[in-house]
Chains A and B, each alone.
Chain A
Amino acid sequence: MTILKLLAAATTALLVQAAQADITIGISLPLTGPASGLGIPMANYIKLWPQTIAGEKLVVTVLDDATDPTKGVVNAKKFVTEDKVDILMGSAATPVAIAMADTAAESGTPQFMFSPAVLPAGKDAWAFRLPQGNAVMAFAMIEHMKKLGVKTVGFLGYTDAYGESWLTDFKAQSVALGGPQIVAVERFARADTGVTGQALKLVAANPDAILVVASGSGAAMPHMAIVERGYKGRIYQTHAAATRDLMRVGGKAVEGAYVTSGPAVIPEQLPATHPSKALAADFVAKYEKVYGAGNRNQFAAHAYDTVVVLEKVIPVALQKAKPGTKEFRAAIRDAMETMGRTVVSHGVLNYSKDNHWGFTTETGVVLKVVNGDWKVE
C-alpha cells in the first residue's frame, strides 16, 4: 500500500513536471523605433501562432526592444536567466539581433534571428537567420541583370550595415556568376533630405543599371532623385524596398523598377512549379483573414516560416531531451542543422553546421513595378 502510494506520488510528480516543461520561447522585436515597421507585422503574425507543437504547449513572450541594441540585450538576458527560454528569437533589426547573439551563445540558447545579421566567423554557432541573406537575393538580381544584358552597375545605398553588406555580397556574387561590374559607389542615409549630389555623380558615370539599397518608404526618395536627373537605364531595388510604401511614396517615378523579393508576398503570381507557392498562399490567406486584404508583409511571413521550422525541429529535439533543459536547447540546435531541405513560404531552407543562413538560391524573385503593382519577372 505504501509502495503504491509512493508510486502514485512519484507519477503525479513526474506528470506535473512534464506539464511544467512547456516549450518557452522569448521573442524580442522592435515594436517601436525606426524598425517598428518590421517588428509590428511579425508580432501580428505571432499572435496567430498555434498553442501547441508536437503536443507540447508553447509559452511565447514578446518584448519590445525599441530598435535599441541595449534594450535587446536586456531582453535577451531576461529571457535566458529569468524565463530560462528554450529558444530565443529576434530581433528584426540587424544591430539589435547582432547585440543579442552574445547572450544566446554564452547561455547556449538557439537564437532565431529575424534579420540577415552578419556575425564574425565562429560567433554564429547558436544563431540561425530566418530572412534571406543578401547573397541569395543578389543571386536572383544578378541572374536577372545578366538576362537583360546589364554590364555596368552604379550603387546608391544606405551608409549602414545593410548598404555595406549588399555592396560586398553583390560584388562577390557578381564575380562568381560572371555578372555586371560596379562602376560607381555612392551613399546616403535614411533621414537625408536629398541625394542630388549622389544622383548627379551616378548619372554622369552612366551605368547600364543603378542599384538602390534602402528600405521601405525610404527607398523612394533616391529612386525619384535618379529619375529626376534624367537617368534612362534600369533601376533595381532590394527586398527591403519590396513593400507597397515604395509605390505609395514614389508614385509614377518608380514605375518600371525591378525589386527583388521573397516569394511569400506574391503567391498568386508564382509559377506552379515554384516550391513555395502553396505555403505562401497559405500564409497570405491566414494573415489577411485577420489583418485585412492587401496587408501581407515580408516579415510577417518570416514569423510564419518560424512555425514551419519549429514543427520540424521540436519533435526531433523532444526525442533527445525534455524542454527546459540545456540538452533540449542543444538538441534544437542540432535538429536545425540537420533538418535538411525544408520548404517555407519564403523559399527553401537548408541549414547545416557551417551554414546558418539557410536559404538556397531558389528564394529570390525579381518583381517589376507595372501600373503601381508588382509583376513577377
Chain B
Amino acid sequence: MDWSIAGILALDGVTTGAIYALLALAIVLVFAVTRVIFIPQGEFVAYGALTLALLQLGRLPGTVWLLLALALLAAALDAIAGLRRGLAVGTLAIGALRSLAFPVGVTVFALWAAPRQLPLLVQSLLTLAIVTPLGPLVYRLAYEKLADATVLVLLIVSVGTHFALTGLGLVFFGAEGFRNPSFWDARFNAGPLTLTGQTLIIFMVSIALIVALWLFFERTLRGKALRATAVNRLGARLMGISTSGAGQLSFGLAAFMGALSGLLIGPATTMFYDSGFLIGLKGFVAAIFGALASYPAAALGALFVGLIESFGSFWASSFKEVIVFTLIIPVLLWRSFQHGHGDDEE
C-alpha cells in the first residue's frame, strides 16, 4: 500500500461514512425522542433510491400507493377515535381533510408526473415528498399506541416493521437492482485522487444537513421541544409538549434523512429492495459509538465505520463485514465498564 492507494481508500471510506453519518444521526434522534431502536431506517434509504429509479423509468412507484393507503388508514383511525370521544362530524371531516391533503396531493402529482420524465431534480424532490411522510405514518400506525412500552417491545415492533417494509419493497420494485444517474457528472483530479461530482454532493449535503439539524435543535421551538422530550418524556408532557407530535416529527426527520441518503447513494452503487437493511445496520453501529445519545460521537463513529470498511475491504475483503460488526463488541464492553450494569429502562 502506498499513499495514493491509502488516499483513494480514505476518500471512499469518508464518502460512505458521510452517508452512514446521516443514518446514525437519524437513529440517535429517533431513539432519544421515542426510545425506538429504528431498524427500518435502512428501508427508507432503499425506498428513496428505488422510488427515484422508477420515476426515472417513467413508471409510478408503488411507494405512492403505500403512502396513500397508510394516510387513509391513519385518517380512519383518527375518525374512529374522534367519534368515540363524541366529536362533531364536521370537526372530524376537517381533521381528516387536513391530514389527507398532503398525501393525496403528492399522489395526484406523482400520477401526473411519473410518465412525463421530469428533470432529475424535480423527481428527487418528488421522491422526498413521497418517502418523508411515510415516517410519521409508520410511527402513527406501528408505534404510537405502544409509546409507553418497554424498549424491548418497541424493538420487536421495529423488527416486524422492517420485515413488512422490506417485503413491500420487493412488491414495489422487484428483485433486481437499480442504479440512478449521477446528479453531477463532473470529475476533479488531485494527484491520484479522483473526486467525482457525486462525492462532492454527498459531502456538501451531509454537512449542510448536520448544520441544519444543529440549528433546528438549538434555535427553533420545535427542535427544543424534541430535545425536551428526549431528556424527559413526562416532564415535557407536563410542559405542554405533545409527545406524540414529537414522535411523528422525529420519524419524519428520520424518513427524510433516509430518503436523502438513498438519493445520495443511488448513483454510486446498485440498490436492491433489501440493500437498505445493511446500510442502516452500519448506521446503527455508528450510533452505538455515540451510545444512541450523542450526535457528534455518532457522526464520528460513522466516519470511522466507513474508513474501517474501506480499508478492511482492501486488506481482507472476505472478512469486511466481520470486521465492521465486530467493532461493536469493544465499544459495548467499554460502555458497560464505564456505566456499570444499570438498568436502562426508565
List the interface of chain A (C-beta within 8 A of B). Answer: 32-37, 40, 159, 186-198, 200-201, 204, 216-218, 220-221, 245, 249
Contacts and interface: CB of A to CB of B under 8 A. Distances in A.
Nearest to A195: B313
A220 B170 contact: no
A198 B321 CA distance: 14
Contacts of A245: 176-177
A197 B310 contact: yes
25 contacts: A34-B175, A35-B175, A36-B175, A186-B317, A187-B318, A187-B320, A188-B313, A188-B317, A189-B320, A191-B275, A191-B278, A194-B12, A195-B313, A196-B313, A197-B9, A201-B314, A204-B5, A216-B175, A216-B176, A217-B176, A218-B177, A220-B270, A221-B179, A221-B270, A249-B178
Q: SS class of chain B's interface: helix, strand, loop or mixed?
A: helix
B312 interface: yes
Closest 4 CB pairs of A and B: A197-B314, A197-B313, A217-B177, A37-B175
B317 A187 contact: yes
Contacts of A190: 272
B9 A196 contact: yes
B312 A197 contact: yes
The contact size tier of chain B is 20 to 34
B274 interface: yes
Contacts of B9: 196-197, 200
Given A216-B177, A217-B176, A193 B310 contact: no
B170 A32 contact: yes
B1 to A, nearest CB: 9
Contacts of B19: 193
Contact of B269 (A37, A193, A197, A201): A193
B5 A200 contact: yes
Interface in B11-25: 12, 16, 19
Contacts of B174: 37
Interface string B308-331: 001111110110110000000000
A196 B317 CA distance: 11
Contacts of B137: none
B205 interface: no
Given A196-B310, A217-B176, A249-B179, A191 B272 contact: yes
A149 to B, nearest CB: 28
A193 B176 contact: no
Interface centre among A32, A190, A196, A220 (most CB of B within 10 A): A196
Given A197-B314, A204-B5, A217 B16 contact: no
A198 B317 CA distance: 7
Contact of B314 (A33, A189, A198): A198
Residue in A32, A37, A191, A249 with the greatest tally of chain B CB atoms within 10 Å: A191
Contacts of B312: 197
- Of residues B19, B167, B278, B318, which shows the largest number of chain A Cβ atoms within 10 Å of its Cβ? B318
A201 B12 CA distance: 14
